[in-house]
Structure 1
Amino acid sequence: MPLFALLRTACFLASLATLASLATPAAALDKVTFATNWLAEAEHGGFYQAKADGTYEKYGLDVTILQGGPNANNRLLLAAGKVEFALGANLIQAFDAAAGEIPIVAVAALFQKDPFILMSHPNAGFDQFKDLPRATAFIGKDGFVSVYQWLKLAYGFRDENVKPYTFNSAPFIADKNSIQQGYATSEPFEIERQGKFKPNVFLIADYGYDSYSTTIETTRGLIDKNPDLVQRFVDASIVGWYNYIYGDNHAANELIKRDNPDIRDEQLAYSVAKMKDYGIVDSGDSLTLGIGAMRDARVKSFFTKMVDAGLFKPYLEYKRAYTLRFIGHGVGLELRPRQ
């Protein structure tokens, strides 16, 4: 065949290939919604990171993050099947679902430590944890019916010392003989800013309160129907958390500030620093199994403590509240900086 004819045939075949590629659309991304439990903040950073840097897309996902807030209960949307995934605060919520026969399951725990803290004034006689049961305690409603019930049993805290914490730290700042609940990643920053002093901070996880925190929850129906979707969302979120904690998180923080314009760069930086300092995201089992890890023995330990504190009946089938199926595979371990 003459050279000209060969070239013409080659061009024709190339054109057909180009047309074929244009006629075949790229694989569509799976659209899912992830509902958080509060306004956008650094404690949600890994999820925003996975969205900002394209990790969710790499895993074939088009993720909408639906932030929560003081007047929202996004977890109800999960139970009603309106969203595919939701953020759980701790294992108590998962146990509650099991007790109520609600088919919600925790499939990953992005925080190895619950960031719940108690704070006290320095040099006021409450510098050690053993001193705290004597103090007036500003405790929120949710904290009182959960963590505080365990503190009463384990350390002798008393109901008569409790005053309501309404997310206003002014009463604590004014009373040197008081303690206040908070999150290690947020309230101490505000106390230093508003009260002009650095509070003593006691991370309750370091005193035996061993709940996992910041869980990814989904429904048992979605697990049964589309386990691959669940696995991809969990894996991508884990990668997002590695990149948020250890990498460049500027783009994620911009998305957080877009959703929550009231949050400041200083607060975001403080929160990330404390998550590292306390090992909230990456410590313990996550060091070998990867971020998001849970273990049966630790879940059992926490459940037993909550039973002893009167929160649950001992016969509750608590294992229905979670699964280890989608975690512990070492996803993202290579993203942790070498020591």
Structure 2
Amino acid sequence: MLKKLAGVAATLSCLAATPFTGAAAAETNVKFMLDFISLGRHTPWYVALEKGYFKEEGLNVEIMPSKGTADAIRGVVTGIAQMGLIDVPSLVAAGKAGSDVKIVAGAYVEAPYCVYTLNPGANVIKPVQLEGLKFGSSSASFIPQIWRAFMHMNGLDGSKLEIVNVDAAARIPMLAAGQVEGVDQFLMAAPAIRRAAPGKQPVCLFAADYGLDLYSNSIGVKKSFLDENPEAVRGFVRAALRGWQYTLAHRDEATAIMVKSVPALDRGIVREEIDLLERIAVNTDVKVNGFGHILPEKMAKTFDFINSNVQVNGGKLEANQTYVPGFMPKTPILPEQK
């Protein structure tokens, strides 16, 4: 009996010294804050959650909506969320106030900036048409500064872009009503514009097609969480990128998952937004190196462009202070070939 008890004690001692793995391990809680309310463009994150990819990495993930990019940055800085969908140009524009946010992987590897007009209407298809355009945006936003710098890049006079201060929620209705000729929107706004302006075609002047080579929304992490939980961050990135891969390969199923997760969304708009995501999430680099891959030289260009053309608050951030390499999967998660 004594020998048996000793054997049991030894076994228990070994078990106590061995870390649990897989389902038996304690999960790490992660709050992930989006850059806005939950929309069709956010489907990949919900797919990763629904398909159990985060759970497989030992993560208990909660996806949180926000009021916008500044809110998402503030949420990560203050610790409301450990991670967020962080717009890199907005982070650079925040200056030192955003220094606690570190970028570990991309999402929108091409900036989604569009000047949307209508056809029939202003029908802006070339940068030169921006001169004299009555453009609905916000005087409090740095986006008009980007468009004026974009015009300068293309040999145009940025001062000739006529900015009309319009609240974000009113831009599409005002465009549809003809009160402005163009509006500041992300690429994914086309489905909403089409529905607001029946009989007219939304036309996107896509800045990336005319030399604006910037990173945009990326996976950002609070520095203290990154320092304390590097493997959890690697697991999150791996799971999230699998969500991107699955979404673009199974778009109808991904649409169903998103509408199940957020029932208020319109199924048709979700499906259209997923199609538009491919243009900003898949480029030549991603086809070779996988979803989320970041080229250090392009990240440096992004920081340099914003620091040079946008009013930055409270001291400038540099790319080598903010982008932290080493968190991408060792085996790239590639887009599935069609």
SS at match of 1:40: coil
Aligned partner of 2:324: which letter?
Answer: T
**Counterpart in the other structure of 1:118:** 115
Aligned partner of 1:150: which letter?
Answer: A
Note the C-alpha offset of 1:162.
0.8
Note the C-alpha offset of 1:147.
2.5
Deviations 1:64-112 (A, max 9, x none): 11112369924323112232111112x1233245533631111111111
How far apart, CA to CA, are the structure 2 residues paired with 1:96 and 1:125?
30
Q: Is the 1:243–1:249 contact (alpha carbons within 8 Å) kept by the matching residues of 2?
A: no
**Counterpart in the other structure of 1:301:** 301
Using a 3 Å threshold, how does the CA distance of structure 1 residues 174 and 221 change in structure 2: closer, same or farther? Answer: same
SS at match of 2:219: strand
- The gaps in structure 2 that reach 5 residues or longer are 1-14
How far apart, CA to CA, are the structure 2 residues paired with 1:26 and 1:307?
47
Using a 3 Å threshold, how does the CA distance of structure 1 residues 257 and 322 change in structure 2: closer, same or farther? Answer: same
Listed as ranges, the matches of 1:1-339 within 5 Å are: 26-69=24-67, 73-89=71-87, 91-96=88-93, 99-100=96-97, 102-122=99-119, 124=121, 126-129=123-126, 130-140=128-138, 141-144=140-143, 146-154=145-153, 155-158=156-159, 161-166=162-167, 167-168=169-170, 169-175=172-178, 178-186=181-189, 188-196=190-198, 197-247=200-250, 250=253, 253-254=255-256, 256-257=258-259, 260-276=262-278, 279-312=279-312, 316-327=317-328, 329-333=330-334, 336-339=335-338
Note the C-alpha offset of 1:236.
0.7
Q: Is the 2:109–2:215 contact (alpha carbons within 8 Å) kept by the matching residues of 1?
A: yes
How far apart, CA to CA, are the structure 1 residues paired with 2:257 and 2:71?
22
Which has the greater radius of gyration?
1
Using a 3 Å threshold, how does the CA distance of structure 1 residues 318 and 159 change in structure 2: closer, same or farther? Answer: farther
How far apart, CA to CA, are the structure 2 residues paired with 1:142 and 1:315?
18
Deviations 1:37-86 (A, max 9, x none): 21111221111111001111111111111112369924323112232111
SS at match of 1:215: strand
Using a 3 Å threshold, how does the CA distance of structure 1 residues 309 and 147 change in structure 2: closer, same or farther? Answer: same
Using a 3 Å threshold, how does the CA distance of structure 1 residues 152 and 331 change in structure 2: closer, same or farther? Answer: same
Using a 3 Å threshold, how does the CA distance of structure 1 residues 125 and 67 change in structure 2: closer, same or farther? Answer: closer
SS at match of 1:131: helix
Using a 3 Å threshold, how does the CA distance of structure 1 residues 170 and 315 change in structure 2: closer, same or farther? Answer: closer
SS at match of 2:175: helix
How far apart, CA to CA, are the structure 1 residues paired with 2:149 and 2:262?
33
SS at match of 2:248: helix
How far apart, CA to CA, are the structure 2 residues paired with 1:249 and 1:308?
42
- The gaps in structure 1 that reach 5 residues or longer are 1-19
Aligned partner of 1:274: which letter?
Answer: L
How far apart, CA to CA, are the structure 1 residues paired with 2:196 and 2:122?
22
Q: TM-score, normalised by structure 2?
A: 0.81
Aligned partner of 1:110: which letter?
Answer: A
Q: Is the 1:113–1:280 contact (alpha carbons within 8 Å) kept by the matching residues of 2?
A: yes
How far apart, CA to CA, are the structure 1 residues paired with 2:260 and 2:35?
17
Aligned partner of 2:86: which letter?
Answer: G
Deviations 1:215-270 (A, max 9, x none): 111122222222111111111101111011112563x5455445644320010011
Deviations 1:149-189 (A, max 9, x none): 42353342336611123222232223387111212112x22
Percent identity, aligned pairs only, is: 17
Note the C-alpha offset of 1:32.
1.2
Using a 3 Å threshold, how does the CA distance of structure 1 residues 36 and 239 change in structure 2: closer, same or farther? Answer: same
SS at match of 1:142: coil
How far apart, CA to CA, are the structure 1 residues paired with 2:271 and 2:91?
30
User: CA RMSD of the aligned region, Å?
Assistant: 2.9
Q: TM-score, normalised by structure 1?
A: 0.81
SS at match of 2:226: helix
